[in-house]
Amino acid sequence: MKVFTHLLIVTVALGGTVAHAQAVPEGLTLHEAVAIALAADPWMSGSRHTQAALTDEAAAAATLPDPKMSLLAGNFPVDTFDINQEAMTQLAVGVSQAFPRGDTLALARKQKLQLAQQHPLLREDRRAKVTATVAQLWLDAYDAQESIRLIETDRVLFEHLVDAAQASYSAAAGRARQQDVIRAQLELTRLDDRLTALRQRRDAAQRRLSEWLGRSADHELASTLPIDSPNAPVSAPASRQERYEQIRHHPALLALDWRIDAGQTDVDLARQKYKPEWGLSAQYGYRDRDLMGRDRADLFSVGVTFDLPLFTADRQDRQVRAAIGHAEAIKTEKQLLIRQLTAQLETAAANLARLEQRRALYADRLLPQMAEQAEASLAAYNNDDGDFAEAVRARIAELNARIEALAITVQRQKTVAQINYLLNEASPASERLVEDF
């Protein structure tokens, strides 16, 4: 037998080494990447600040306007400016208080609290979205990294293949031809090109991942995939109602419900402008003695003011219609989001079912058959009963099949991450109602 017999032994040994290496988790895992991204996300802090600001604004909105103080020196004679010359001259101090229209204060407080209540839900949606996004980017980098490992492993085999072909060609009794040597060298060069392209993909994925992880994205990734979520569906829901039931508790939808409620409260606020705004004022006026030295009575005044919203066609009516239009627009946003989420869920579930079929096909039939074909082609050539080019093609086909099987597994994990986001449900604490409006 020729030196090519040694190549089959090398292939089996390298395959065992790779399997053992993949069983030992090293490097940055997906769970660690997600934890780092969530801890370093500035959006979460901004949302908490916004919620706190809206809560404070709610307390301020429910408070009456500050009373106004007035100081008046009235009816002074311009000839002498003597305070006791004329009976009308007085020094007055007054205070006035405005009362907003109808239930404006309570409604303004209610609206601010409704807008604040959406932020816990938005944070839950953000956590789920960041988890899915980081998972997608991590898996892209993982796919490139593991593809590089598979090719680098087979590259060693092809280096031995080139050496063996050259040795056989150099030997006087060898049956290897010059084109066999060139073919082996060509395949080695193609592998180098694929390695360069994959390294480019890996570097690009890590750069995108650095947006979320910073310098941690430069670390080598773990060589094992995490375990799937056990409740990931394998088929799309049968009816539209079932699809809606699966996503109706999504935090993004519940947050929109609070925006819809706030929009309706804005309509109620606009309707308050049909009601008058009231004001109460009181004034105390001090008068000095007259020229004869006699006391004069001080004066006290009290009054009520209110406006008359009589001409409402171009102001109040249009403001109410505008508020109603904004509220209806938010409702259409919810309908669009429901359609988007249900369509994404159907697509992801269908993709997951097909990926499951392909993964089973590769694991149960295609990969074993590819390995048998590669071994048979190499054995046939070693026994002077096969073609060198066919042996090389079989080995390349097996490598491509393993890389494709890896891509299917990674794509399946990406689909599971997307489904986990779509089926994310808000916690009961985030769904609680705002009390004491």
The mean pLDDT value of the chain amounts to 83
pLDDT at 250: 93
How is residue 138 written in tokens? 């991590």
CA distances from 370 to 20, 308, 311, 365, 386 (A): 21, 88, 85, 9, 17
Q: 275: part of which helix (H) or strand (E)?
A: none
Distance CA 157, CA 401 (A): 16
Q: 10: part of which helix (H) or strand (E)?
A: helix 5-22
pLDDT in tens, 92-135: 999 999 999 989 999 999 999 999 999 999 999 999 999 999 99
What residue spans of 219-315 are helical by DSSP H?
240-247, 251-271
Q: Residue 324: inside a domain, yes or no?
A: yes
Q: Residue 427: inside a domain, yes or no?
A: no
**Count of domains observed in the chain:** 1
DSSP annotation of 293 reads: S
pLDDT in tens, 322-375: 999 999 999 999 999 999 998 898 888 889 999 999 999 999 999 999 888 888
pLDDT in tens, 375-428: 887 777 666 666 666 777 788 888 899 999 999 999 999 999 999 999 888 877
pLDDT at 57: 95
pLDDT in tens, 181-219: 677 778 788 888 999 999 999 999 999 999 999 888 888
Q: What is the dihedral angle through the alpha carbons of 310, 321, 116, 54, rounded to the nearest 10 degrees?
A: -40
Q: Residue 107: inside a domain, yes or no?
A: yes
Q: Residue 18's pLDDT band (boundaries 50, 70, 90)?
A: very low
> Dihedral sign, CA of 358, 364, 369, 372?
positive
Contact call for residues 124 and 302 (beta carbons, < 8 A)? no
Q: Residue 245's pLDDT band (boundaries 50, 70, 90)?
A: confident
Given a cut of 50, is residue 3 above it in pLDDT?
no
E strands present in 20-159 = 68-74, 90-99
3-state SS string for 350-388? HHHHHHHHHHHHHHHHHHHHHHHHHHHHHHHHHCCCCCH
CATH number at residue 178: 1.20.1600.10
Given a cut of 70, is residue 235 above it in pLDDT?
no
Comparing CA positions, the residue from 282, 270, 320 lying closest to residue 101 is 270
Question: Do strands 299-306 and 90-99 pair parallel, antiparallel, or not at all (unpaired)?
Answer: unpaired
Given a cut of 90, is residue 80 above it in pLDDT?
no
pLDDT at 292: 76
| Contacts of 13 by beta carbon, 8 Å cutoff, 6+ apart | none
Q: Taking the complete model, does pTM exceed 0.95, yes or no?
A: no
Of 52-66, 71-85, 344-358, where does mean pLDDT reach its minimum? 71-85
Q: Residue 215: inside a domain, yes or no?
A: yes
Domain that holds residue 86: 5-422
- Mean pLDDT score, 271-283: 93
Q: Residue 379: inside a domain, yes or no?
A: yes
pLDDT at 23: 39
Distance CA 205, CA 202 (A): 5
| Contacts of 303 by beta carbon, 8 Å cutoff, 6+ apart | 280, 281, 282
Q: Residue 304's pLDDT band (boundaries 50, 70, 90)?
A: very high
Distance CA 395, CA 398 (A): 5
Of 22-36, 167-181, 189-203, where does mean pLDDT reach its minimum? 167-181
Enumerate long-range contacts of 386-393, CB under 8 Å, 24 or more apart.
388/165, 388/176, 388/177, 388/180, 388/183, 388/184, 389/179, 389/180, 389/183, 391/4, 392/161, 392/183, 392/184, 392/187
Q: Residue 64: inside a domain, yes or no?
A: yes
pLDDT at 75: 86
Q: Residue 428: inside a domain, yes or no?
A: no
Q: Residue 399: inside a domain, yes or no?
A: yes
Longest dimension (CA), the chain: 148
Question: Do strands 299-306 and 68-74 pair parallel, antiparallel, or not at all (unpaired)?
Answer: unpaired
Q: Residue 1's pLDDT band (boundaries 50, 70, 90)?
A: very low
